[in-house]
Amino acid sequence: MSATVTLAQLYPEELGVAGDRGNIMAIRERLARAGASVSVVEHRVGGTLPSDADLVLIGNGPLSAIRNIYDDLQTIAPELRALAGNGVPIFAYGSGAELLGHDVTLLDGAVIAGLDVLPFRTTRVTERKVGYVIVDTPLGQVVGFEDNASLWQLDSDAAAFGTLVAGGGNGDGTHEGVVLGSSIATQVGGPVLPLNPLLTDALIRSIASRRDFDYAPGTAHADLDRYATRAREVISANAKHVFSRI
Quote the mean pLDDT of the chain: 94
Lowest mean pLDDT of 43-47, 82-86, 197-201, 235-239, name the range. 235-239
Here the CATH number for the domain that contains residue 189 is 3.40.50.880
120, 152 contact by CB (below 8 A): yes
Lowest mean pLDDT of 2-11, 133-142, 190-199, name the range. 2-11
Average pLDDT over residues 157-170: 96
For 9, 15, 49, 77, 218, the CA distances from 12, given in Å and listed in that order, are: 6, 5, 13, 17, 30
- For the entire predicted model, the pTM comes to 0.95
pLDDT in tens, 2-33: 678 999 999 999 998 878 899 999 999 999 99
Give the pLDDT score at 227: 96
- The residues that bridge with 123 in the sheet, in sequence order, are 105, 151
For 46, 71, 203, 215, the CA distances from 43, given in Å and listed in that order, are: 8, 14, 20, 26
Q: How many Å apart are CA 103 and CA 82, to the nearest integer?
A: 19
Q: How many Å apart are CA 124 and CA 146, to the nearest integer?
A: 15
Give the pLDDT score at 20: 86
Q: How many CB atoms lie within 10 A of CB 12?
A: 17
Give the pLDDT score at 192: 97
Cis preceding linkage at 62, omega within 30: no
* pLDDT reading at 1 higher than 70: no
Q: Give the total number of structural domains in the chain.
A: 1
pLDDT in tens, 107-125: 999 999 999 999 999 999 9
* pLDDT reading at 246 higher than 50: no
Could you give the percent of the chain with pLDDT greater than 90? 92
- Domain range spanning residue 37? 4-245
Q: How many Å apart are CA 58 and CA 23, to the nearest integer?
A: 10
Average pLDDT over residues 44-60: 96
